[in-house]
Structure 1
Amino acid sequence: MHNKKLIIGRQDLTLDDVQFFLTENPSIALDEEVKTSINAGHNVIKEIVEKDRVVYGVTTGFGKFADVRIDGQQTRELQRRLILSHAAGTGDPMPAEIVRLMMLFKIKNLSQGFSGVRVQVVEQLVNMLNENIIPVVPQKGSVGASGDLAPLAHMALVMIGEGEAFYQGKRLTGAQALQKAGLKPLQLEAKEGLAILNGTQAIQACGVFSLLQARELVKTADVIAAMSLEGLLGTLTAFDERIQKARRHPGQLHVARNFRSILADSPIVESHKQSDHRVQDAYSLRCIPQVHGAIRDGLDYVTGVFEREINGVTDNPLVFAESGEVLSGGNFHGEPVALAADYLGILMAELANISERRIEHMMDPTMSEMAGFLTEEGGLNSGFMIAQVTAAALVSENKVLAHPASVDSIPTSANKEDHVSMGAHAARKALQIIENTQTVLAIELMCACQGLDLRKPVLPSKATMAVLQAFRQQVPFWDKDRVMYPDIEKARQFVVAARPLKIVEQMGIELQ
C-alpha cells in the first residue's frame, strides 16, 4: 500500500524527487494539466491519420524504411511490429531500481505532450509502476542512437502483454503479470510504439542512479580521507582557506572547509602541529582539496546535464499542438548524456585512485611511522597487505573502464543512423566504477580506523572518533590475522550506506 505520492506535472523532476522515488516507493499520479497537454498532442496525430498525411513513423516505416508508405488501416499493426522487432536486447536483466527509473523518466517524457500518444499509454506505465510490475530489460543492446531502442522495446513489450516481467518476486510473462495486477494489455495506436521506443531513458536511468550514489560518496570520501590524514599524522596547513581562495574553484573550497570542520578539535592533529617534522605531506594528503574538489565541480556539471535530460523531451518526431506541426529531428541522440556519463566514470575513478594512494601510505612504515601493514606482529601476521592489493586491482580495473565509450561510434540501420553515442555503455561503466570505488573507500576506512587505534592514547577528533566507534561495532580491531573478505564486505556496506557521512552530520557538522 502506498502512503506517499509523486505527482508528475509540469514542474521539473529534481534529483531529490528521484531519490524520494527510489527510497520511499511512492505511488505515481499524473497532474490534470499534463493530461490536457497529452491529449492536445494526440489530437494532432489523430488528424494526420484521418487525413492520411505523410508523417515519419505515423504513416511511414522506420529508419531506412522511412520512405515506405503505410496504409492507415495498418497503423496499429505497424506499432505492434515495431515493438516486437526492436526487443532485441541481450544479457542479464537490468536491476529493478534502474528499470523503475527508466519507466518514471519515460512517463515524464510522454507527459509533456510532444509525443502524440493517448493518456492511456502514459497511465499504463503509471499503473505498472504502482503495481510494482518490473519489465525484464536486458542490459545490452543499445548504442544510444535513436535513444535506447532495445531496452525501451523490452519495457514496451510488457505494456502490450508480451515479454517478461518481475511481479511479487516471480518472473512471469508480461501477460501474466498484467493479469495478476488487474491490468489489461494496451493496444497501441498511431505513433505510440515509436514514442515509447525513441528516447534516452535507459541511459538516463542508469546514469542518474549512478549519479545519486556518487554525490553521496564524495562526501563520505571526505570523512574517510580525514581519518586517514589523522592516522598518517598529516598537517592541516594545506587546507587553509587562504590557499583555496587563491585558486577560486568552489569544490576545492568546500572540501577544505569540510576537513577543517571534521578535524577542528583533533588531539592527533594538535599533537604534532608545533613540532611537525613534515613540512609538506605527500600529494594524496596535501592535494585532497584540489582532487576531491575537482571531482565535486565535475559532478556539478554532470548533475546539470542529467537534470536537463530527464525533464527534456527525447522523442522523435515531435508534435507541436499549437501549430499542428510534426517535426523530425534528433533529440533522441544520446550524446549529451553519453559524454556526461563518461565524465562521471572518470571522476569516480579518480576518487578511487587517490584513496588507494592513501591506503598504500598506511602500509609503508617509512611513510606512516606505524607498524608495517598496520599489524603489530609483522611476519607472523600479514595485516592489511592484501587488502591494499585488492584496492590496487580495483583501481586498475577502473582505469580500463574509464576509457570513454562516447568516443566510439559504429553505423547502424543501413547507415541511416551513421553516428551513435554509445551512451548506454558509458552509463553502465560508470555504475561499475562507482561500485569498485565504494570498495576501495571501504578498504581505506578499515586502514584508517586501524591507524587511529594504533595512535592511542592520543585520540582523533570527536567526529572521527564517533565514526571509529560505530565502525568498530561492525568490524573489530585487527589484532591478529583472520579471514579478511567478511571485514571488507562489512566495511563496504558501511560506506554504501554513507554511515561515516551520516554520523558526522548527526554531530552538527554540515558537509558541503
Structure 2
Amino acid sequence: MNEKIFHYGEDVLDIGAVMALAEGSRKGQLSPGAVAKVLASQQHVSDIVQRNITVYGINTGFGILADTRISEEDTRTLQHKILQSHSVGVGDPIPLPIARIMLITKIHALAQGFSGVRLETLQRISWHIDNDVIPVVPEKGSVGASGDLAPLAHLFLPLIGLGEVFHKGLRRPAREVLDLFGIAPLQLGPKEGLALINGTQFILAFAASGVQRLHYCLEAADIIGAMSLEALTGTKAPFDERLHRLRPFAGTTLVAQRLRLLLNNSAIMQSHVDCGRVQDPYSLRCMPQVHGASRNAWQHLRALTETELNAVTDNPIILGAGDTISGGNFHGQPLALPLDYACLAAAEIGNISDRRCYLLLEGKWGLPLLLMKNVGLNSGFMIPQYTTAALVTENKTLCFPASADSIPTSLGQEDHVSMGSISGRKLSLVLDNLEYILAIELMSACQAIEFRRPLRSSEILEAAHEYARNFVGFASEDRIFSEDILQLRTIIRDHSFVKKVDEAATAKGVDLNSTFEAFKII
C-alpha cells in the first residue's frame, strides 16, 4: 500500500489519486487545515440560523419552494426530509467502485470549507470509505443539474440510518450495519442535507472511472492494432515521423510513435518489404489518425474531469455568516459535453477494431480463410466477428448525446438541465463493449500471427503475444470462443496486458509514450 496520505480538502485530486483511494491502495484523511475550514464554515451556518438571515436551503424550502420560509426549530428536520424526499432513484445499483468514488469526491469538495457541514458528518463519510461500507445507489434518476440529487440522496441515506449498504459482499439495511459497528445515525444540522445532495459527484465518478478505462483501451488498441498489422503483413510506412510532422495533432503523433516502436526490428515486417503492395486498408494505415483522434478526446475529458475533481459544486456557497452566493456550480454541463464526446471516441476505437477483425478473416495475404485450415466442418473465427459487429452497432446507438436534451424540472425553476448523468452511464456501457471488441481482435490477431511462423514480430509484440497465450491457446478447431473472449477482456480491463507490454518495452530501453507526458496517468 502507498502510505502517502491524501488530505481531503487540501491536496490536489487527480485521476491517479482518486482511483488509488477508491481501490484502497491509498488512504485519505482530513488535515488540521481542512478541519479548521470546516468548523469555520459550519459556524457561519449557525450564525445564519441564529440571526434569521434568509438563505436558500438553510431556512427555505428547495427548488420551486425556495420562497417558503422554514422556522429555526425546523431547520434540522428539513435536512433529514430532503434525503428522504430526493431518494427516488430506480434501476440496478451502480458498481461499488463508482459509489466509492462518489464518497471520495464528495468529502473532498465539502472539506474545502464552503458548504457549512459539520465535522462529524465528514468523519462519518470517511468512516464509510475506510470500512468499505458502501451505500446502495440506484443507477437512474439524475438529470445532472441541481446536482445529482437522487443518487446523492441514496448515497447519504445511511448517514441517518436509512437506505441500504453493501458490506462484506452482502446487501443489507444500513441501520443493521451501523448497529453491528455500534454506531448511531447522525442528526443532520442546518444546510447539511442540501450540501450532501447538491453536487456533480455521480457524473464525476463515472467520468473519473471512464478516463481510466478509456486510457487502458487506447493503450491496448495500439498494441493489438500493431499485432493485426503484422499478421496481415501491413507496412509501417504510414507511421513515418516525417509524415506526421506535416499534421502534428498530439494524439496522432503519439500513436504513430507508439506503432513505430512496437514494430521496430520485426522479422515479419522485414520479410515483405518488396511485396509490391502499395497501400493498406484504412483500418491499418490510418491507426494514428483514428486512434489519435480518440486520444485527443480522452485528453480533453481528463483535463476537465481533474478540474471538477477539485471543484466545489455545492449551492449556496457559504463565504461568511452574511456572505453567501446562490449560483449554479452544481450544473453538470461542463462534464456532460466531454462525456458525450468520449462516447464517440470510444465507439470509434471499437469501429476500427472490428474492421481489422474482418480483414483477418478474409483469407488474403497468406492467411487461411477464417483463420483456420480445416473450415467447412469448422466455422473458424467467423462468428466472433458477428459479436464485434453487434457490439459496434450497439455502441452507435449509445452515441446519441444525452447533453443535447433538456427537460425542465421543479415546475420550471430548474429549466435547463445537463443530463450528464446519462452521458456518464452511456460511456461506461460503450467501454464495456469496447473491451470485448478489443479482446476479440486480440484473440484473432494472436491466431493469425501463428501462421507467420517461423518468422517473429518485434520482441515487444512477441511479449504481447506470449502474455495473451497464457490465457488463450491456438485454435486448431472450433471451441466455445466466448470463454476465450472473457479471459482476454479481463487482461485488457485490469491493464495487465498493457503493463506486460510496457515491461517488455522498458527491458529494451523503450518508452512507448516518451515525450507525451500529457497522455499518461500518473
- TM-score normalised to structure 1 length: 0.97
Q: Would you say 1:336 and 2:338 are equivalent positions?
A: no
Alignment match of 1:391 (pick from 388, 399, 402): 388
Distance 1:115 1:25 in 2: 28
Q: Residue 87 of structure 2 contacts residue 150 of structure 2 at CA under 8 Å; is this kept in 1?
A: yes
The residue that corresponds to 1:493 in the other structure is 490
CA RMSD of aligned residues (A): 1.4
The residue that corresponds to 1:476 in the other structure is 473
Give the drift of 1:378.
1.8
Q: Residue 111 of structure 2 contacts residue 122 of structure 2 at CA under 8 Å; is this kept in 1?
A: yes
Give the drift of 1:87.
0.5
Give the drift of 1:492.
1.1
Distance 2:387 2:156 in 1: 41
The residue that corresponds to 1:466 in the other structure is 463
User: Match of 1:510, as an amino acid?
Assistant: D
- Per-residue CA deviations over 1:253-306 (Å, capped at 9, x if unaligned) read 111111111110100011112x13211111111110111111111111100111
Q: Residue 9 of structure 1 contacts residue 30 of structure 1 at CA under 8 Å; is this kept in 2?
A: yes
The residue that corresponds to 1:142 in the other structure is 142
Q: Residue 206 of structure 2 contacts residue 425 of structure 2 at CA under 8 Å; is this kept in 1?
A: yes
Distance 1:182 1:99 in 2: 23
Q: Secondary structure at the match of 2:172?
A: strand
User: Match of 1:6, as an amino acid?
Assistant: F
Q: Residue 131 of structure 1 contacts residue 181 of structure 1 at CA under 8 Å; is this kept in 2?
A: no
Give the drift of 1:164.
0.9
* Distance verdict in 2 for CA 1:439–1:14, change over 3 Å: same
Q: Residue 161 of structure 2 contacts residue 175 of structure 2 at CA under 8 Å; is this kept in 1?
A: yes
Distance 1:19 1:135 in 2: 18
User: Match of 1:161, as an amino acid?
Assistant: G
- Per-residue CA deviations over 1:22-62 (Å, capped at 9, x if unaligned) read 33344331011111111221121111100111111111100
User: Match of 1:173, as an amino acid?
Assistant: P
Q: Secondary structure at the match of 2:295?
A: helix
Q: Secondary structure at the match of 2:410?
A: coil
Give the drift of 1:482.
1.3
Q: Residue 408 of structure 2 contacts residue 416 of structure 2 at CA under 8 Å; is this kept in 1?
A: yes
- Per-residue CA deviations over 1:325-380 (Å, capped at 9, x if unaligned) read 111001101111111211111110011011001111111124x4311111111212
Q: Residue 348 of structure 1 contacts residue 434 of structure 1 at CA under 8 Å; is this kept in 2?
A: yes
The residue that corresponds to 1:415 in the other structure is 412
Give the drift of 1:382.
0.9
Distance 1:9 1:163 in 2: 27
The residue that corresponds to 1:282 in the other structure is 281
Distance 1:168 1:392 in 2: 39
Matches for 1:435-454 after TM superposition, within 5 Å? 435-454=432-451
Q: Residue 4 of structure 1 contacts residue 24 of structure 1 at CA under 8 Å; is this kept in 2?
A: no
The residue that corresponds to 1:360 in the other structure is 358
* Distance verdict in 2 for CA 1:4–1:93, change over 3 Å: farther
Distance 2:187 2:24 in 1: 31
Give the drift of 1:3.
6.6
Give the drift of 1:162.
0.9
- Per-residue CA deviations over 1:446-488 (Å, capped at 9, x if unaligned) read 1111110011122111111112122222111011111221111
Distance 1:260 1:48 in 2: 64
The residue that corresponds to 2:185 in the other structure is 185
* Distance verdict in 2 for CA 1:23–1:79, change over 3 Å: closer
Distance 2:5 2:411 in 1: 45
Matches for 1:242-321 after TM superposition, within 5 Å? 242-273=242-273, 275-321=274-320
User: Match of 1:261, as an amino acid?
Assistant: L
Distance 2:73 2:385 in 1: 66
Q: Secondary structure at the match of 2:47?
A: helix
Matches for 1:129-208 after TM superposition, within 5 Å? 129-208=129-208
- Per-residue CA deviations over 1:144-173 (Å, capped at 9, x if unaligned) read 011100000011110111111111222221
The residue that corresponds to 1:226 in the other structure is 226
- Per-residue CA deviations over 1:469-512 (Å, capped at 9, x if unaligned) read 22222111011111221111112112222233112211213222
* Distance verdict in 2 for CA 1:134–1:220, change over 3 Å: same
User: Match of 2:439, as an amino acid?
Assistant: A
Distance 1:125 1:22 in 2: 13
Q: Which moved more, 1:241-250 or 1:457-466?
A: 457-466
Structure 2 regions of 5+ residues with no counterpart? 514-522
The residue that corresponds to 1:510 in the other structure is 511
Q: Residue 224 of structure 1 contacts residue 500 of structure 1 at CA under 8 Å; is this kept in 2?
A: no
Distance 2:496 2:324 in 1: 51
* Distance verdict in 2 for CA 1:120–1:136, change over 3 Å: same
User: Match of 1:266, as an amino acid?
Assistant: S
User: Match of 2:416, as an amino acid?
Assistant: H
Q: Secondary structure at the match of 2:66?
A: helix
Q: Residue 9 of structure 2 contacts residue 109 of structure 2 at CA under 8 Å; is this kept in 1?
A: no
Q: Residue 22 of structure 2 contacts residue 104 of structure 2 at CA under 8 Å; is this kept in 1?
A: no
Give the drift of 1:2.
10
Q: Residue 148 of structure 2 contacts residue 202 of structure 2 at CA under 8 Å; is this kept in 1?
A: yes
User: Match of 1:511, as an amino acid?
Assistant: L
Q: Secondary structure at the match of 2:29?
A: strand
Q: Residue 79 of structure 1 contacts residue 194 of structure 1 at CA under 8 Å; is this kept in 2?
A: yes
Distance 1:374 1:2 in 2: 45
The residue that corresponds to 1:21 in the other structure is 21
Distance 2:402 2:182 in 1: 42
Distance 2:172 2:28 in 1: 23
User: Match of 1:346, as an amino acid?
Assistant: L
- Per-residue CA deviations over 1:46-86 (Å, capped at 9, x if unaligned) read 11100111111111100010011110110011111111100
User: Match of 1:8, as an amino acid?
Assistant: Y
Percent of paired sites with the same residue: 43
The residue that corresponds to 2:94 in the other structure is 94
The residue that corresponds to 2:372 in the other structure is 375
Q: Would you say 1:116 and 2:116 are equivalent positions?
A: yes
Distance 2:221 2:277 in 1: 24
Distance 1:178 1:126 in 2: 14
- Per-residue CA deviations over 1:210-253 (Å, capped at 9, x if unaligned) read 11111122111111111001001110000000111110111111
The residue that corresponds to 1:57 in the other structure is 57
User: Match of 2:70, as an amino acid?
Assistant: I
Give the drift of 1:439.
0.5
Q: Residue 223 of structure 1 contacts residue 500 of structure 1 at CA under 8 Å; is this kept in 2?
A: no
Give the drift of 1:441.
0.4
